[in-house]
Chain A
C-alpha cells in the first residue's frame, strides 16, 4: 500500500461530516477567503517497520500535522479552532479515504499564532497521527 497522504486525508475529514467545513486547504492559506483552514505536514518520527525474512516493511506510518485557522476576528478563529480540536483530538480507529488511522492526538495546545496585515488572525494547533499500511 502506498504511503498515506495524511494532510489530504485530514483536510477531507474536516470537509466531511460532522464538521462539514468549507475552505480547507493543504500546505498553507490562499489569499481569499479570509476565513479558512490549512493543513500542513512537517517532519515527524520515522515509520514503524516489520523485520522478518523479507526486507523491512513499513507497518505503521507516523505523521505530524499543523492545522491553522484564519478568521477576521480572534474570537471566531479561536472558536473555529476549538471545534476542530474537539473533533480530531483522541480520534482512534478511523478510516479516511481508505486509510486506517489508529490514532490522532494533540501534541500541543491550540494557540494564537499571528495577526496579519489585513487584521485577520491565525491560530495553530499540532497533531500526531498514525496510520496502518
Chain B
C-alpha cells in the first residue's frame, strides 16, 4: 500500500527559509561592522594605540566593507607605511604613551571571544524576530 503525507504549508515554509537564509547574510554583515567599529575604536584608545607622528596614519583609520564582512583599514591616501608601522616590532620611542606596533591585531586577539558572543547574540535575536 502506498500513501503520501504532505503539508499545505510546505511551500510557504520553504519560501520563508529561503528568505531567512538570505537575511542571515545581511545580518551577519551588520555584526561584522559593529565588531570592526569596536576594534577601530580600540586601536585609537586602548594600548597599543596607533602611533602618532604627524597624525596622518591615524586619520586614515576606517572600517571598510569586504565581500566577507567588514575590515579595519589603515593607510591609503598617500600613507603607504601603515603595514610597516603595524608590524615593526623593533623598540622605538613613540611620541604618544601607549602607542606601538600591532595596534589592530592585538585588539582582535583580545576581543576574539567577545566577537563570537556578539555574532551569536545577533543571530539569535534575528531568529527570534523571524520565527
A residues lining the B interface (CB < 8 Å): 28, 40, 42-45, 64, 66, 113-114, 124, 126
Contact = CB atoms under 8 A, between A and B. Distances in A.
B87 interface: yes
A64 B105 CA distance: 10
B88 to A, nearest CB: 7
B87 A64 contact: no
Contacts, number: 29
B90 A28 contact: yes
B51 interface: no
B84 interface: yes
Q: Which 7 A-B pairs have the closest CB atoms?
A: A45-B109, A40-B89, A43-B106, A42-B102, A66-B89, A44-B109, A124-B87
A42 B110 contact: no
A16 to B, nearest CB: 24
A45 B88 contact: no
Contacts of A44: 109
A126 B101 CA distance: 13
B94 interface: no
B106 A113 contact: no
A42 B112 CA distance: 16
